[in-house]
Structure 1
Amino acid sequence: MTATDLVVARREAVATGVLVLALCRPDGGTLPEWAPGAHLDLVLGPDLVRQYSLCGDPGDRSVLEVAVQLEAGGRGGSRFVHERLAVGGTVRVAGPRNHLPLVDAPRYLFIAGGIGITPIRPMVAAADAAGADWCLAYGGRTRASMAFAEQLHGKYGRRVGLCPQDETGLLDLDTLLDKPVPGTAVYCCGPEPLIAAVEERCRARPPGTLHVERFAPKRVDAGGTAFEVELALSGRTVTVRPDRSILAALEEAGVAVLSSCREGTCGTCETVVLGGVPDHRDSLLTEDERAAGDTMMICVSRARTPRLVLEL
């Protein structure tokens, strides 16, 4: 599935400021397969593309569901969804794509903060269906702001710990992560302070234990030195100045490249690296993927070598 128009079949408020959109094909046909952790690009305008995690049932091929939280200080995507996407309307989508796959593990610890519950919800269902040992710690500002909270607690009982901040305070990460159990995969999605705190507490765990998804980019050093990018498929070479990203340099040279967030969080611009060493500055790739150097996000990452060769 590259890009197609889907119909808004249902809009439902599931928490304060959070809407679920159910998207279907106009002809009622079957939608693409997806797995927990996948997200969908909503093309809301010429320069307004946003990524939302799929939060429904992967087994239901008739509908794709996303939950969108209204961000008052955002860049306009959530406001467009809340104010202008009505039932019966159409929206162009691309995907699904998955940068947070659920790995096989005997046990899971899921940690969600706020709207970060969206990719976690289908993961919980998959882990439960597989008979794995799992638990979910879910925090939010208030109980009313926590999408799917009561449904999850009602279905799974004590395996789901709800922590509204105004009632119980912040998630007790020290207790959750104090005594690691071998074989436990940790999944975390939510605001940057939560993810950073979880990363710090998991630093000593074996590689591949922690899996995170960010809605905002990690802080990285900006700028750098100039370098060249060779486009293997066209034979062109483009110079990337210190004040330009690879993506911006390519666009200025008239090279069309798919992109969306321009922050290193969505994966739309992921490009195969054929030569040279990338300077990874994204918020998506794992440490192993960075070390391999096979791909890079050209919207933010740069080069550690004078030249990169990209499959473009």
Structure 2
Amino acid sequence: MDLSTPPPDLYGRPRADTFFRFLTAFGDRYSPALGGPLLRRNPRRPYSRPTQALQLVVTARRQVAADVVELTLADPSGGPLPAWQPGAHLRLTLPSGRERHYSLCGDPADQAGQAGQAEQAGQAEQADPAGRSGYRIAVRRLPDGGGGSAEIHDTLHPGTRLAARRPRNGFAFCAEPAVLFLAGGIGITPLLPMLREARRNGLDWHLVHTGRSADTLPFAAELRALDPARVHLRTDDEHGGPPTGAELLAHAPRGAAVYCCGPAPMLTAVQRALDASPAASLHFERFGAAPVTDGEPFAVRLGADGPELPVPADRSALDVLREARPGLPYSCKQGFCGTCEVRLLAGTPDHRDRRLTPERRAAGALLPCVSRAAAGETLVLDV
């Protein structure tokens, strides 16, 4: 008798037992020990299906300031694009394979004929066609950047095709009754759709747009057209240097919400001056990674037998890794896009990202753009 193969029926009958066939199928599907998938997830959450990348084509390009180019991106077939809200950004995959995030600066009201509704209501403002029929972005060339801005300026022209993730929003506009918008240079891009939304809703809003000189301020004419009395364009060359936080916040109506996007020194100045200002709250978005203020020196090792690189207290692991591995991909440098993900082989990290789940972290995923380690610790990475 062959004992290696169980009989097809509990009692040795030649036909399969229906109950045990059902029980086996149930166990295969639901038991973690047998590899069943359904008990490894929250049964109340639906399965997440990967969203298909958007295929886009550059339909228009124009210069909007010194070293700033505006691109309009549309569906190659002419169909509508996914809806978005003010503050949303688009993650583009450039022809080189680089991935970069750019704020949408068109008008999200172009979604369901709202342009016609605005015209019928007698409003002077027209909905920008770059809402769902096209996405609008503006990119400043950064000579000392990672190559993404230069690639856009040098290679993206009408007819160029590229892929993108659907718009995501980490800088949502709450449409408070009184609002002050503060933009530093190219930081106007996420705020421009908010301005249009504030104007449509009759909010008490004001804008201060700062830059080195008048020719560096994108969309100056477009901003003035919204409401010259509420738009303040301030340049360093005319005022003897950058503004202080108190100077910027002096434009805030009492109890206003402040929406700020600009370089790190501007954000720091506004944060420090907020409590003494008429404003009540602050929402902000950075151009790149926040400065490391509470880091400890640690080290990263490139593979189990690779070289060990020191990470100073005021630098990110990503910056150090890219000096040794220049091709290491990255994008946001803020811990939310996941582009720079590497695998942790050994060590105890201090995860500081906003993307990885506990399960992903336990499996060894690490985002070196923001994650660190305790003083003296060495993280061994598969890079």
With structure 1 as the length reference, what TM-score do the two structures score? 0.73
May I ask how many residue pairs the two structures share in their alignment? Answer: 263
Change in Cα spacing, 1:206 to 1:263, as seen in structure 2 (3 Å) is farther
1:46-102: CA deviation from partner (whole Å, max 9, x where unpaired): 651111100001123110000011111111001100111110110111121111000
| 1:264 and 1:281 in contact (8 A); partners too | no
Which amino acid is the alignment partner of residue 217 of structure 2? M
2:255 alignment partner AA: G
Q: Partners in 2 of 1:102 and 1:262 — Cα distance?
A: 20
> Does residue 1:14 correspond to 2:83, yes or no?
no
Q: Larger relative CO (CA 8 A, sep 6+): 1 or 2?
A: 1
Instruction: Name the amino acid aligned to 2:334.
Output: G
Task: Indicate how the Cα distance of structure 1 residues 263 and 222 shifts in structure 2: closer, same or farther if over 3 A, else same.
Answer: farther
**C-alpha distance in structure 1 between counterparts of 2:249 and 2:54, whole Å:** 42
Matches within 5 A, 1:80-159: 80-159=151-230
Bigger drift between 29-38 and 41-50 goes to 41-50
CA distance in 1, matches of 2:148, 2:206: 32
1:307 is aligned to none
Check 1:33–1:303 CA distance in 2 against 1; reply closer, same or farther (3 A cut). Answer: farther
Q: Which of 189, 195, 208 matches 2:261?
A: 189
Farther off after superposition, 172-181 or 111-120: 172-181
Q: Structure 1, residues 258-281: CA drift from partner, whole Å, max 9, x if none? A: x8426216x21399xxxxxx9575
Instruction: Specify which of 337, 343, 346 is matched with residue 268 of structure 1.
Output: 337
Paired residue type of 2:285: E
Partner of 2:92: 42
**Is residue 2:83 matched to residue 1:33?**
yes
CA drift at 1:213: 0.7
Unaligned runs of 5+ residues in structure 2 are 1-50, 111-131, 300-307, 319-328, 342-348, 356-364, 375-383
Answer yes or no: is the 8 Å Cα contact 1:71–1:78 preserved in 2: yes
Q: Distance in 2 between matches of 1:281 and 1:182?
A: 35
CA distance in 2, matches of 1:22, 1:217: 27
TM-score (norm 2): 0.61
Q: Which residue of 1 aligns with 2:273?
A: 201
In the aligned structure 2, how far is the partner of 1:218 from the partner of 1:116?
Answer: 15
Q: Matched residues in 2 for 1:175 and 1:262: separation?
A: 30
Q: Which amino acid aligns with 2:148?
A: G
Indicate the structure with greater strand content. Answer: 1
Q: Percent identity?
A: 42
Contact 1:224 1:242 in 2 (8 A): no
* Equivalent position to 1:216, from 283, 288, 291: 288
Stretches of structure 1 lacking an aligned partner (at least 5 in a row): 227-240, 248-258, 272-277, 286-295, 305-312
Q: Is the 8 A contact 1:186 1:209 kept in 2?
A: yes
Q: Secondary structure at the match of 2:291?
A: coil
Question: How far apart are 1:183 and its partner, in Å?
Answer: 3.5
Report the alpha carbon displacement of residue 28 of structure 1 after superposing the two structures with TM: 0.4
Q: Give 1:268's aligned amino acid.
A: C
**Change beyond 3 A, Cα 1:303–1:209:** farther
Q: Which moved more, 1:148-157 or 1:117-126?
A: 148-157
What is the alpha-carbon root mean square deviation over aligned residues? 3.5
Distance 2:226 2:332 in 1: 38
Aligned to 2:194, the other structure's residue is in SS state helix
Aligned residue for 1:95, secondary structure, equals coil
State the partner residue of 1:171.
243
SS at match of 2:94: strand
What per-residue deviation string (whole Å, max 9, x for no partner) do you get for residues 200-255 of structure 1? 112578998111111121121446789xxxxxxxxxxxxxx9979999xxxxxxxx
SS of structure 2 residue aligned to 1:59: coil
Residue equivalent to 1:308: none
Which residue identity lines up with residue 32 of structure 1 in the other structure?
P
CA contact (8 A) 1:106 1:183 kept: no
Q: Does the residue aligned with 2:167 lie in a helix, a strand or coil? A: strand
Q: Which moves more between the two structures, 161-170 or 196-205?
A: 196-205
Quote the offset at 1:165 in angstroms: 1.5
Secondary structure at the counterpart of residue 144 of structure 1:
helix
Letter in 1 for 2:206: C
